[in-house]
Amino acid sequence: MEGQTVRGPGLAARQPEPVPAEVDAGALPLLEPRRGDAAERFLDLIGERHPDLAFLFALLGGYFLLALCSIAVGLLVTNGLLAVDEVKRLDERFPSWLEGERTATLTDLSWVGSEIAGGYVIPAVIGLVALVMVVQRKWRIAAYVLFGVAVESATYRATTLFVHRERPDVERLESLPVDDSYPSGHTAASIALYSGLALLLTSRLAQGPARVVVWAGALAIPPLVALSRIYRGMHHPIDALAAIPIGVASIVVVVFACRVAGAAVTRREGAERRA
């Protein structure tokens, strides 16, 4: 994992310490650990590890916790919330209403909205960004981009194994191997990827119009994806809402794992200097 946190003398122990640009121009504050933060405490817990192994431990630990929470919430929603007839009818009404409003133009637009978080665009964007980062030897950034959606996808798959809900009782405009409606994997993936990239980009941008433009685009995509998936008969509104915490938490997990790796790098380099 590339990148290191340089600690200048005289700084307070609790104060965040940025990495000087001349030391590592590829480092990002978002992925850098802070002295005494959760990443360093986690590293204390697992012991001195190679940065790659520390990253893997943090990533898997975060994933399992997220998957358990997602499954628990899903069971509460499907067996509790949706057991209330009024809630269930309201949730089913919107896809039925959209089915009656379908037109050729809206159907084409829904295809675009669905595909920007689909099985071709998402891997293409990830592959392109990760390849550029690998060529530039910015390993931690490449891992961030790759594993954010990986954690989301694995959480979605684990949730569908335990939480079962039929897709809306409308004509579906596509078919998928997974026939579970809860949660919306496309919506969660759009948050994990596009909001994750926005967070990465804006962590180095000063306040200004560029940050607004980046976040406006990133935040506009998930609602478009969710509406498109509901329009196409693949999900209910509650399924799309359930995707929000999964997508956000996936970003949190991978940021934490990258910071743990950064803390491991710093400790190894410190040990080498003392040797």
pLDDT digits (tens, 9 = 90+) for 103-129: 999 999 999 999 999 989 999 999 999
Average pLDDT of the segment spanning 130-156: 94
Is the per-residue pLDDT at 31 higher than 70? yes
* 56 touches 194 (CB < 8 A): no
Per-residue pLDDT band for 80 (boundaries 50, 70, 90) equals: very high
* 203 touches 30 (CB < 8 A): yes
Q: Spell out the alpha helix ranges (H) of the chain.
A: 38-46, 51-79, 85-100, 104-115, 121-135, 139-162, 185-190, 196-202, 209-231, 237-274
Residue 209: per-residue pLDDT: 87
* 182 touches 78 (CB < 8 A): yes
Average pLDDT of the segment spanning 230-245: 97
Per-residue pLDDT band for 206 (boundaries 50, 70, 90) equals: low
| 180 strand-pairing partners | 166
The pair of three-digit structure tokens given for residue 157, joined into one six-digit string: 């798959």
Min mean pLDDT across 1-10, 34-43, 127-136, 177-186 is at 1-10
Q: Report DSSP state, residue 19.
A: P
Q: How far apart are CA 221 and CA 117, in angstroms?
A: 9
Share of the chain above pLDDT 90, in %: 71
Per-residue pLDDT band for 275 (boundaries 50, 70, 90) equals: low
Read off the pTM: 0.86
Is the per-residue pLDDT at 18 higher than 50? no
- Cα 152 to chain centroid distance, Å, stands at 6
Q: How far apart are CA 133 and CA 58, in angstroms?
A: 21
Per-residue pLDDT band for 3 (boundaries 50, 70, 90) equals: very low
Residue 27: per-residue pLDDT: 57
> Taking the C-alpha atoms of 256, 262, 268 and 269 in order, what is their torsion angle to the nearest 10 degrees?
-160
What are the angstrom distances between the C-alpha of 119 and each of 96, 114, 123, 134, 172?
A: 26, 10, 7, 22, 18
Per-residue pLDDT band for 259 (boundaries 50, 70, 90) equals: very high
Per-residue pLDDT band for 16 (boundaries 50, 70, 90) equals: very low
Max CA distance (Å), the chain:
72
Per-residue pLDDT band for 25 (boundaries 50, 70, 90) equals: very low
Quote the Cα angle for 24-29-30, to 5°: 130
> Taking the C-alpha atoms of 151, 153, 156 and 158 in order, what is their torsion angle to the nearest 10 degrees?
-70
* 50 touches 58 (CB < 8 A): no
Per-residue pLDDT band for 21 (boundaries 50, 70, 90) equals: very low
Min mean pLDDT across 69-78, 152-161, 261-270 is at 261-270
Domain ranges of the chain: 33-268
* 33 touches 266 (CB < 8 A): yes
The pair of three-digit structure tokens given for residue 166, joined into one six-digit string: 């039929």
